[in-house]
Amino acid sequence: MSTACRRFALNTVSAAIVALACLSISCDRAPAQEPHPPATEPLPDITILTTSFTNGPASTLSATIYLPAADAEAVAGIVILGGSERGPQTDMKRRLAAHFAQNNIAALIYDSPGTGTSTGNTLMQTREDRAIEALAAVICLRKQKQVPADRVGLMGISEGALVTILAAGADLNTDVPRPAFIIPVSASTGVPMLECARYRIETKGLARGLDTNAIQKALLLEELLFALLAGNDAFDWPLIIQKANQWPNENWVQMAELVQQIWSRSDLDLTAQAWDDIKQELSIWRTESWFDLVVVDVDRFDRLMTIPTGQMIVLLFQGPLSGYRTTLKVAQESDAIARITCPILAVWGENDEFLPPRRSESFFRARLAETGHAEATYYIIPNASHTLTTKDGGDEFVNNYPDLLSDWILQYSHQKAP
């Protein structure tokens, strides 16, 4: 491998990270919502402002603030965070923000770093990085004269839900204001990342009518891809090899050996060859009926296959999911939950295909109870998907979901009002 291939440059690996993110090994990586242009027709009874805020020297983030009409004072404010798509402002976020403003609640949405018109690079951010960014957005909204500074909260969906928890329970030795309340939506609390992925594969595979053999292959590939990102140390390879031996006429054992070769780092040229061989095997499995259970966005996967080998190797070794970051997920969440003191509205969809809603709710509820937290409300909404729509990726919210959110915030604001 050439020296140029080995050099780490953030701007050259960005495309690789975008592509790799689509492999959906994280518990909360639902298909990304595509951005839509803002509505051209004015919305009734609200004011829309454009602004920006900074998150350290590397990022200036473009934001839109939705306010009650004219100079009416908002009763509260809320920053809306997206999930692992980490993209620009979307139509779904705009509709939620407009709904809040029409109910006298100010709302802020923004383009993630490096998307829309924001600078920076969100794709190398850890969830802790995103939590610090979310707190910067809270400060931005608190500065609006129509917004009561002591009643600005955070709402996030999927990965964004976990970010709200980390922000509210951040262990920071600073005077940075915490959110006044949080609304985590579809949070995979207490569930390891790989276990969430298994839940997704089994739920979707059984719903599709795939046989046990196909689902088992999808589960094994998920585990191998997870090991490819997180590293060898977190996996029990004798068991993985036993699983691979179920199909001696296919290259599952060879795939497991290639993943181990990547992380041995014994020789850069051998590592590069191992990745090229992995790509070849993945391109073969791409045609299998179970493949999109693992790789949710197959189109992006095809683009991944074109990423130069050197860039991909750098990403694997230095990316935001490398090493022990994935295995520490539950411990970090548990510690953060124990430090939360603000009111919480936690929401899940009953028909979530990306994470187990009841188990997530149970862990969240139990951990808060251990700490004596008494200001939490929990909902598992019937017939709702991961995005709280009637179908994953759809546009229509279920069961007056936006009203549930705004009503809770209004009740909270009434209780906090002097």
Q: What is the DSSP string of 152-191?
A: EEEEEETHHHHHHHHHHT---SS-PPPPS-EEEES--TT-
197 vs 349: CA distance, rounded Å = 17
Residue 286: inside a domain, yes or no?
yes
The CATH number that applies at residue 123 is: 3.40.50.1820
Structure tokens at 381: 């909404």
Residue 9: inside a domain, yes or no?
no
Q: Is there a single domain that holds both residue 239 and residue 105? A: no
Residue with more model confidence, 83 or 215: 215
What is the predicted pLDDT for the residue at 2? 35
Last residue of a domain, one of 293, 325, 357: 325
Last residue of a domain, one of 286, 301, 325: 325
Q: Is there a single domain that holds both residue 218 and residue 250? A: yes
Structure tokens at 219: 């589960």
Q: Is there a single domain that holds both residue 205 and residue 337? A: no
418 vs 288: CA distance, rounded Å = 61
Q: Is there a single domain that holds both residue 184 and residue 332? A: yes
Count of H helices and E strands in the chain? 16, 8
Q: Is there a single domain that holds both residue 288 and residue 400? A: no
Q: Is there a single domain that holds both residue 305 and residue 210? A: yes
- Residue 384: phi, psi to the nearest 5? -105, 145
Q: Is there a single domain that holds both residue 117 and residue 234? A: no
Q: Which of 293-297, 308-312, 360-364 has the highest mean pLDDT?
A: 360-364
Q: Is there a single domain that holds both residue 313 and residue 350? A: no
Residue 112: inside a domain, yes or no?
yes
Question: Residue 248, Cα to own-chain centre: how many angstroms?
Answer: 36
**How many alpha carbons lie under 13 Å from residue 140 in its C-beta half-sphere?**
28
Which pLDDT band holds residue 174 (cuts at 50, 70, 90)? Answer: low
Among candidate residues 127, 79, 164, 74, the one with its CA nearest the CA of residue 346:
164
Side by side, the strands of the sheet bearing 105-110 are 46-54, 60-68, 105-110, 76-81, 152-157, 182-185, 344-349, 376-381
Residue 28: inside a domain, yes or no?
no
Of 32-36, 61-65, 204-208, which gets the smallest average pLDDT? 32-36
Range of the domain at 254: 193-325
Q: Is there a single domain that holds both residue 181 and residue 53? A: yes
Q: What pTM, to 2 d.p., does this model score?
A: 0.85
Is beta strand 105-110 parallel, antiparallel or unpaired with respect to 60-68?
Answer: antiparallel
307 vs 282: CA distance, rounded Å = 14
Residue at token pair 């548990």: 334
Count up the domains in the chain and report the number. 2
Contact (Cβ atoms closer than 8 angstroms) between residue 123 and residue 18: yes
Structure tokens at 138: 């809270």
Residue 21: inside a domain, yes or no?
no
Which pLDDT band holds residue 12 (cuts at 50, 70, 90)? Answer: very low
What is the predicted pLDDT for the residue at 297? 81
Cα distances from 397 to residues 17, 390, 391, in angstroms, run 30, 6, 9
Query: Across residues 324-331, what is the average pLDDT?
Result: 72
Query: Across residues 224-236, what is the average pLDDT?
Result: 82
**347-405 residue pLDDT tens:** 999 999 999 999 999 999 999 999 999 999 999 999 999 999 986 556 789 978 999 99
304 vs 17: CA distance, rounded Å = 9
Cα distances from 143 to residues 50, 55, 65, 136, in angstroms, run 14, 15, 11, 11
